[in-house]
Amino acid sequence: MLVLVLGIETSCDETAAALVEETGDAAVPWRLRSSVVASQIELHRAWGGVVPELSARQHVRDICGVVARALQESDSPFDAVAVTRGPGLVGSLLVGVSFAKALAWARDVPVIPVHHLAGHIESLVLENGEMPLPAVVLVVSGGHTSLYRIDRPGEYTLLGRTRDDAAGEAYDKVAKLLGLGYPGGPAIDARAAAGNDRAVHFPRTRLTHADRNAPHLPGRRDFSFSGLKTSVLRHVTKRREALGLAAGEALPSLEIDDICASFQRVAVSTLVERLFDAARECGARSVGIAGGVSANRRLRADAQARGVARELPVFVPSLALSTDNAAMIAAAGLRQLRTRGIEAWDGNAEASLAL
């Protein structure tokens, strides 16, 4: 029987619902039927970042309408509800988890608890078909920068992750200190296109030692972005002093373009290098980049170019599926259903769930 799954995602600042169905085709296993995303970006913009309590309250307001719209765009009854169980903001996660449980109970279908990052990874397969395995996938968003190896469908092995800021977080913080607003990633992406990426020298971080908190991981595959962020802060402070700028006065526009381009060159080359180094070490037959930062134009272009040079297929999601959405959660739910079967679940949301 081909299964239709309703996905629900409320881990951060998007309330989302989607319907994804199985195709019966092993190479392209799923098809998107409907996807609705209510973004809270405008709500949080005034605060310069996501305010957890405001986020949870907005999910409560939006969830009924978002799920109703996702269901209205399709007339079939669904066979299971997949929901993001974690990681994320706990108040926000609870809205989705409680809603999913209630709806599943009312319709007498199972709930499939999904890890948010498994969702980002499976977004690659939803749109592009199965990745040749083994694969190495970089999940890079506002909350995460992690490398996973996939040897078998649905099995994700952590190879490395950030020790401090996530890459998207570094984009957001750098944008904030340049006065570019929130979220910072798209703003820096746009400004960098006009700048000279060699104008300012920012250092690259390469970790060689294992993390004391994760001694089982070889440290060389970990990331660190807080040093890069701090050196942008130092450069901006120095330039503001040199130009005698008053508080609230912006740096010259061309200079901001150059800082964005120089920051982005370092951030993107770190991500691309670590991804392809891991792929070589693992003998990967494909690589992928998922999560909000995968929308970045330079990251996509540089990764595609490196993939061509190394003769490795590079999987990236469409822009709609790169930031948080529920289609990826439904896809990961279907993956779980086929690899692990239906497991009775009555657990809770988990803010720091491990994959």
Q: Which residues bind to Zn ion, rule: CB under 5 A?
A: 141, 324
What whole-number distance in Å separates Cα of residue 27 and Cα of residue 125?
Answer: 9
Cβ at position 168, least distance to Zn ion in Å: 9
What CA–CA distance (Å, rounded) separates 175 from 183? 8
The single residue listed with the structure tokens 């999987």 is 315
- Interaction between residue 171 and ligand KG4 (CB under 6 A): yes
Taking CB under 6 A as the rule, does residue 55 contact ligand KG4? no
By the 8 A CB rule, do 84 and 93 touch?
Answer: yes
CB of 88 to ligand KG4, least distance (A): 8
Question: Which residue from 4, 5, 8, 12 is in contact with ligand KG4, where contact means CB under 6 A?
Answer: 12
**Phi/psi at 290 (5° precision):** -135, 165
Given 293, 316, 328, 329, the residue binding ligand KG4 (CB under 6 A): 293
- The single residue listed with the structure tokens 């599926």 is 321
Q: How far is the CB of 300 from ligand KG4 (least distance, A)?
A: 9
How far apart CA 259 and CA 104 sit, in angstroms, is 50
Alpha-carbon distance 125 to 132, whole Å? 10
- Asked whether the bond before 29 is cis by omega within 30 degrees of 0, the reply is no
**Is 168 an interacting residue with respect to ligand KG4 (CB under 6 A)?**
yes
Place of tokens 């990961």: 332
- Interface residue with ligand KG4, options 97, 131, 150, 295 (CB under 6 A): 295
> Least distance (Å) from ligand KG4 to the CB of residue 111?
21
The answer to the question of residue 156 lying near ligand KG4 (CB under 6 A) is no
Which of 136, 160, 140, 138 is CA-nearest to residue 150? 136
Check residue 21 for interaction with ligand KG4 (CB under 6 A). no
Residue window 108-147: x/- pattern of binding to ligand KG4, with contact defined by CB under 6 A? ---------------------------------xxx----
> Closest approach of Cβ 260 to ligand KG4, in Å?
10
Per-residue contact string for residues 186-225; x = within reach of ligand KG4 by CB under 6 A: x--x------------------------------------
Beta bridge partners of 132: none
Contact between 99 and 85 under an 8 Å Cβ cutoff? The reply is: no
Q: Shortest Cβ distance from residue 141 to ligand KG4 (Å)?
A: 3
Question: Which residues does residue 157 pair with via DSSP β-bridges, in sequence order?
Answer: 149
If the CB atoms of residues 243 and 305 are measured against ligand KG4, the closer one turns out to be 305
At 13 the three-state DSSP class reads coil
Contacts to ligand KG4 by CB under 6 A? 12, 141-143, 168, 171-172, 183-186, 189, 291-293, 295-296, 323-324
